[in-house]
Structure 1
Amino acid sequence: MAIVVHHLNDSRSQRVLWLLEELGLPYEIVPYRRDPRTMLAPETLRRVHPLGKAPVVVDDGRVLAESGAIVEYLAERYGGTTLVPVRDSADWLRYRYWMHYAEGSAMPPLLLKLVFDRVEGARMPFFARPIARGIVARVRRGFVDPQLALHLDYLERELAARAWFTGDAFGAADIQMSFPIEAAAGRAGLDATRPSLWRWLERVQARPAYRRALERGGGYAYARPA
């Protein structure tokens, strides 16, 4: 029986499709589209999971949510040692670290930037605009921008020392790390001035399985042209 992926456009579920392509597993997609005004997932996703978020994966009767948990489950159940290092090795410890770092440390400043960008562009009474924009500017300068630079510099140093996040071989941790790095390239200033990180992004997005997942998923705003 094929794995079912409840897939939301321009979301973390894209990396689940990519992982399934890397593993060569059969899967079916149930597609959902974001509300163009709010950019939120449709209410119909709540029928699948109470939080109404994607991805949600159904495999052998198991309903799985949270992209990190899904990537970990699929890679460890079906990937053998192809995408996951040998348990308790130094590379496995790095794998486990990056699997959690992606959402626990890398994404929060990116989400804050997204929120404050939307606040700045939101409709509001004219007299409130200078106050709101002043608050946004102070938070950006004092916290968000320094945190983004801190994390991007850290990732640049890590990838200057090794080809992939867990060492010399591509693995599931690279798939998990793709979303925050793609988001940073899309809205947080990541570019070729951080060459190791930029080359990593070019390599992952050139992988045949990545391109196949784009075709199956129906487009992805964070992907660079082939």
Structure 2
Amino acid sequence: MSLTIHHLHLSQSDRILWLCEELSIPYTLKTYNRDKQTSLSPESYKELHPIGTAPIIQEGSITLGETNAIFEYILTKYGQGRLVLSPDHPNYADYVFWLHHVQGTLQPALNSTLTASEGDMMGQVMKARLNRSLDMMNSQLKTNEYIAGDEFTAADCMMMFPLTTFRLFVPFSLEEYPFIVEYLHRISEREGYRVAMEKADPGLARPITAVVNLNK
């Protein structure tokens, strides 16, 4: 059986490609363009899985959605202990936290605050949560090369999308977070990252600087 990644252009499914590239896992890539009118996924993508959102993978009779579920599936089935930290590792708690923090807190906060109307109470709550998240991330990266410590892990593969590709949709500044910006530059130099991002969206320049310039 071969693993098939269904990648919606300009979406978080790009990190599934990256995870596979870092693990040197062979896969078949099928890409889908966003609807020109709505910028949402096309019907052909929505029909792949009941959840209807990116990412989605298939292997044999299995069709699986949800980023964290796909990460767990790939790491457990193919990782052979790579890109994860074991429970007896001193940074295990950091690894688990950051692996799940992106989907659990960071992206929901971004989605809420960057689309909220002025004076929206929930938007203000989520903005505060976003600021705490970025502050904590910046502090973590001040003393660590990677998000869970000195080792590159799957948590790093989870981290890049909201800080890069997502900012093409709704630009936001990272000027207050210099250690996050340094981290983005370090990660963007990885061969696995470069190969995966070019396969996902050929020619797309993802922002890794503090300020997003969409005119470039």
Q: Which band: TM-score by shorter chain?
A: 0.7 to 0.9
TM-superposed deviation, 1:144: 4.5
Aligned partner (choices 164, 181, 193) of residue 146 of structure 2: 164
TM-superposed deviation, 1:72: 2.2
Whether 1:210 and 2:182 are equivalent positions in the alignment is no
TM-superposed deviation, 1:176: 0.9
Whether 1:137 and 2:137 are equivalent positions in the alignment is no
* Residues 7 and 54 in structure 1, CA contact (< 8 A), matched pair in contact too: yes
* Residues 94 and 166 in structure 1, CA contact (< 8 A), matched pair in contact too: yes
Whether 1:152 and 2:152 are equivalent positions in the alignment is no
Q: Mapping of 1:72-83 within 5 angstroms?
A: 72-83=72-83
Q: Mapping of 1:80-119 within 5 angstroms?
A: 80-116=80-116
TM-superposed deviation, 1:222: 6.8
Kindly provide the amino acid, as one letter, of the partner of residue 109 in structure 1. A
TM-superposed deviation, 1:78: 1.8
Q: Which residue number in structure 2 is paired with residue 175 of structure 1? A: 157
Number of aligned pairs?
Answer: 206
Cα deviation code 1:49-108 (max 9, x no counterpart): 012212111134322211111122212322223201123433222222112111111111
Q: Mapping of 1:22-33 within 5 angstroms?
A: 22-33=22-33
Q: Mapping of 1:30-45 within 5 angstroms?
A: 30-45=30-45
* Residues 21 and 209 in structure 1, CA contact (< 8 A), matched pair in contact too: yes
TM-superposed deviation, 1:184: 6.5
Question: Which runs of at least 4 in structure 1 moved beyond 6 Å after TM superposition?
Answer: none
* Residues 10 and 220 in structure 1, CA contact (< 8 A), matched pair in contact too: no
Cα deviation code 1:115-147 (max 9, x no counterpart): 33xxxxxxxxxxxxxxxxxxx222388444433
TM-score by length of 1: 0.81
* Residues 142 and 179 in structure 2, CA contact (< 8 A), matched pair in contact too: yes
Bigger Cα displacement from structure 2, 71-80 vs 99-108: 71-80
Kindly provide the amino acid, as one letter, of the partner of residue 137 in structure 1. E
* Uncovered stretches (5+) of structure 2, i.e. residues with no partner: 209-216
Bigger Cα displacement from structure 2, 194-203 vs 136-145: 136-145
% of aligned pairs identical?
A: 32
- Alpha carbons of structure 1 residues 220 and 53: separation in structure 2 relative to 1, 3 Å: farther
Root-mean-square deviation (Å): 2.4
Which SS does the other structure have where 1:191 is aligned?
coil
How far apart are the structure 2 equivalents of 1:137 and 1:54?
Answer: 29
Higher radius of gyration, 1 or 2: 1
How far apart are the structure 2 equivalents of 1:64 and 1:47?
Answer: 13
* Residues 56 and 65 in structure 1, CA contact (< 8 A), matched pair in contact too: yes
Q: Which residue number in structure 1 is paired with residue 68 of structure 2? A: 68
- Alpha carbons of structure 1 residues 23 and 201: separation in structure 2 relative to 1, 3 Å: same
* Residues 182 and 222 in structure 1, CA contact (< 8 A), matched pair in contact too: no
How far apart are the structure 2 equivalents of 1:222 and 1:176?
Answer: 19
Cα deviation code 1:3-55 (max 9, x no counterpart): 10111011110000111111111111121111133221111123310122121
* Residues 148 and 188 in structure 1, CA contact (< 8 A), matched pair in contact too: no
Bigger Cα displacement from structure 2, 151-160 vs 185-194: 185-194
Kindly provide the amino acid, as one letter, of the partner of residue 17 in structure 1. L
Kindly provide the amino acid, as one letter, of the partner of residue 159 in structure 1. L
TM-score by length of 2: 0.84
Which SS does the other structure have where 2:30 is aligned?
strand
